[in-house]
Structures are given as structure tokens and as C-alpha cells.
Structure 1
Amino acid sequence: MTQFSDSDRIILAGLAFYGYHGVMMEENALGQRFRIDLELGLDMSEAARSDDVSATISYAHVYELVKEAFEERRFKLIEALGHHIMVRLFKRFDRLQWIRIKVRKPEAPLPIVAGEAAIEMLRTREQV
């Protein structure tokens, strides 16, 4: 199994989306902001040596796929949304060995003064 702490990774943090995911009726009707953080584990040795984008994964392509996966259907649970995004990423990018995703709801309908509700999942290709 990959040693995650020692792995090469692409990091995309704070990707912002507006969506209608959630259990509460208000969330489905009014929508809310979401933030997604990704760590994508892959061997970047060849890309580092060659300076060739085809030897890695394009950040722009990752963003486009995450946006598409985020918008293509509504989920009650952000756990299900995170899983869906990971499945789509593994299907599209063969180089990926593991993914860490954090889905955050900065304005979750909770009686909290500050903070956010979030989930974080770490999966290898074999686990999805």
C-alpha cells in the first residue's frame, strides 16, 4: 500500500462551488456555498524530469471534472458527494494512486457562530 505521507501529490485547495446538496429542505431550495480541497497522489518523477504536462495530470482538467461531478446530481450527504467525485477522478485519470478529499459547507444550517461542517475521506483506487 502507498505510504501517503511520503507520496508525491497535486494539491488543489479551496475550490468553490454553489450547489443544492443537503438533507434540509432549505438547502435543496436555496442552495449554499461549498469548498472542496483535494490531494491527488501520483508519481511525478517523469513529469519532474521531462517538464512535460502529458506526464502528469492537468490541474485545469481536474477542476473541470470536479465541477462536472459536483453539478451533475444532488446528494443529501456530503459523504456521498465526496465519494462520487473520487470515483469520477479515478475513472478519468489512470495515474492516480490515491485521493484525499475534503468537502466543506461553510454555511451549514447549524446553530454555530463560526466554523463549518466538513467531511474528509482518503481512498486508494482499490477502495472505491
Structure 2
Amino acid sequence: MDKIYLKGMEFYGYHGVFSEENTLGQPFIVDLTMKANLKPAAKDDDLEKSVNYADAYQAVKKAVEENTFDLVETVAETIAEIILNTFSIVYEATVFVKKPTPPIAGHYEYVGIEITRSRS
């Protein structure tokens, strides 16, 4: 199957189990991979038969910036649910949410969650 990628989308959100995370917020980076049959879109050169990248970006932005969750797992699950409910052409979504500045002592690039969800 074919894939559509949106990589390195950056948002500011208020997710975390610590109260300061919900108050101060922090950056989140999201990678989204959508599996779909893109042959009809390519054959007819028709955006209506594909996924508009701008619409997918806005869907992810809404999930990250307009909600507050304790778990990054819930952020990822919400993104996958919105993508599958919004874009009928997408049959599987993989969402990788990175939290580069969690309040954890130590040296690391980020912590993150990756989930894959598909239509039943």
C-alpha cells in the first residue's frame, strides 16, 4: 500500500501528569504516516481522491493544541482516531509523538510514543 508522511510537525501543548506541564506547557513533535491506496488520485491527478496535507496538519494541530491529557499515549490515540474518522481513504495511521523536554532528570533527545491504528 501507499503511504503519506507528515514528519516533524511541531506544536505546543499542555499534556503530562505533572501540574506544571498542564500549566506551563511544552513542545511536542509529531510524525504521521497514513496508509492509503493513492493510485486513483495519481491516475486522475485529483486531490479529492487523496489526503490534503494541510487538512491532515490541521487535524493533528487540533488534537495536540486543543486538548489536555495526562498521557502522551492519549495524545497519539486521539490523533489516530481523528485521522481515521476524517479521511476515509486512510486505512491505517501510525502516529509518533515526541516530547523533547519532559520534566525528567537526565540526558536524552526525547521521550515518545508510537502507535498504529487501522480500520476494523
Give the TM bin, normalised by the shorter chain.
over 0.9
- Cα distance in 2, alignment partners of residues 112 and 46 from structure 1: 49
User: Contact 2:12 / 2:64 at 8 angstroms: preserved in 1?
Assistant: no
Question: Alignment length, in residue pairs?
Answer: 120
Instruction: Indicate the percent of aligned positions where both proteins have the same amino acid.
Output: 38
**CA root-mean-square deviation:** 0.9
Q: Which amino acid aligns with 2:33?
A: E
Q: Segments of 4+ in structure 1 off by > 3 A? A: none
Following superposition, the deviation at residue 65 of structure 1 comes to 1.1
For 2:92, the equivalent position in structure 1 comes to: 98
Cα distance, 1:43 vs structure 2 = 0.2
Per-residue deviation, residues 36-63 of structure 1 (Å, max 9, x unmatched): 0000000000111111111101000001
Structure 2: any 5+ residue segments left out of the alignment? none
Give the TM-score, by structure 1 length: 0.90
Q: Which has the higher strand share?
A: 2
| Structure 1 unpaired stretches of 5+ | 1-6
CA distance in 1, matches of 2:119, 2:65: 23
The 8 Å contact of residues 36 and 91 in structure 2, kept in 1 or not, is answered as yes
Distance 2:58 2:109 in 1: 28
TM, length-normalised to structure 2: 0.95
Out of 52, 55, 58, the residue aligned to residue 52 of structure 2 is: 58
CA-CA distance at 1:77 after TM superposition: 0.2
